[in-house]
Amino acid sequence: MTDYNQMEMMIVIAARELENGATVGVGTGAPCAAAMLAQKTASPDLVIMFEAGGISPELPEMPISVGDSRTFYKASQAGSMGTIMSSCARGFVDYTFLGGAQIDMYGNLNSTVIGDWESPKVRLPGSGGANDFASFCWKMMVMTPQDKRRFVEKVDFLTTPGWLEGGESRKESGLPENAGPYKIITNMAVMDFEPESKRMRVISLNPGYTFEDVQENCGFELLRLEDLPLTPAPTEEELYILRNQVDPGRVVIGR
């Protein structure tokens, strides 16, 4: 059995979700690594887009920010933030990866404050482009460690819309129909959202974990498939490419 760490597992799972020819808006770090891995394996025609305006660059190595000059290297277009956000609003971006300090059962994200708005325990960076990406990209994914403090029943502040209050609430708010949270990828499991209620649902377990492990590290009741499959582990080829071509400096995947 090939050894791998939890970050490598999450990146490989995410890369497998990105089909050839799709468009994906990414930030730096693990989402960028996942997109680069997808390009170098099953999805060579994946179009990577960065918030600062780089579209379909030939990334020579991992960039350190969305505005890094490497995100424009041999790009098909060197646009701007306006270029990217208008592309999202026009329905041209299939996937995006987002994160936050908190996520609830409907995939709503908080990256603004922990605690009360008037007197917060922690003040966070805020939305950036996350609200725009989540509002208009067709499929929003999150890569995050499984942690009860992160997976909460209700976010302290709604920075980025998920399925809002579940059911038809997102559609009724005026956001595009059939666009919204798609997959949540953690070190323990992969989750999606039950089609009717839009509640978070466990659909596969990562090697070494049980449903009870996932539920214990979540602040709300999770739905689940009746028969939970095992998430396929990274292959030797995926790990070799990730470690030697995507992130040889181990900036994201660690030592």
**Residues 133-190 pLDDT 10s:** 999 999 999 999 999 999 999 999 999 999 999 999 999 999 998 999 999 999 999 9
Task: Report whether pLDDT(247) > 60.
Answer: yes
Strands 102-103 and 23-26: unpaired
Provide the b/e sequence for 218-232 (b: ≥16 CB within 10 Å).
Answer: bbeebebeeebeebe
Instruction: Say how far apart CA 115 and CA 194 lie, in whole Å.
Output: 29
What pLDDT score does 252 carry? 95
What pLDDT score does 2 carry? 73
In the chain, alpha helices (H):
6-17, 30-40, 81-89, 130-136, 169-172, 211-216, 236-241
Output 99 or 151, whichever has higher pLDDT.
Answer: 151
- Give the H or E element holding residue 205: strand 200-205
Task: Report whether pLDDT(1) > 70.
Answer: no
What pLDDT score does 185 carry? 98
CA separation (Å) from 15 to 109, 136, 217, 248? 22, 21, 24, 17
User: What tokens does 56 get?
Assistant: 């379909």
Of all residues in the chain, the percent with pLDDT exceeding 90 is 94
3-state secondary structure (DSSP) of residue 249 = coil
State pLDDT tens for residues 61-87: 999 999 999 999 999 999 999 999 999
Active-site residue identified among 51, 118, 194, 226:
51
What pLDDT score does 50 carry? 95
Q: How does residue 96 score in pLDDT terms, banded at 50, 70 and 90?
A: very high
Instruction: Say how far apart CA 164 and CA 106 lie, in whole Å.
Output: 6
165 is catalytic: no
Least confident stretch, 93-97, 122-126, 139-143, 227-231: 122-126
Per the CB < 8 A criterion, the answer to whether 47 and 95 are in contact is no
State pLDDT tens for residues 191-206: 999 999 999 999 999 9
The residues facing 123 across adjacent strands are: 113
Instruction: Say how far apart CA 81 and CA 88 lie, in whole Å.
Output: 11
Strands 120-123 and 113-115: antiparallel
Tell me how many degrees the CA angle 95-99-103 measures, rounded to the nearest 5: 110
This prediction has a pTM of: 0.96
In the chain, where are the structural domains located? Answer: 6-182+233-246
Nearest to 127 by CA among 112, 117, 138, 137: 112
Helices (H) and strands (E) in the chain, counts: 7, 14
What pLDDT score does 255 carry? 77
What pLDDT score does 210 carry? 98
What CATH number was assigned to the domain covering residues 6-182+233-246? 3.40.1080.10
State pLDDT tens for residues 5-64: 999 999 999 999 999 999 999 988 999 999 999 999 999 999 999 999 999 999 999 999
Strands of the 180-185 sheet, one edge to the other? 77-78, 54-55, 47-50, 23-26, 95-98, 139-143, 180-185, 189-193, 200-205, 223-224
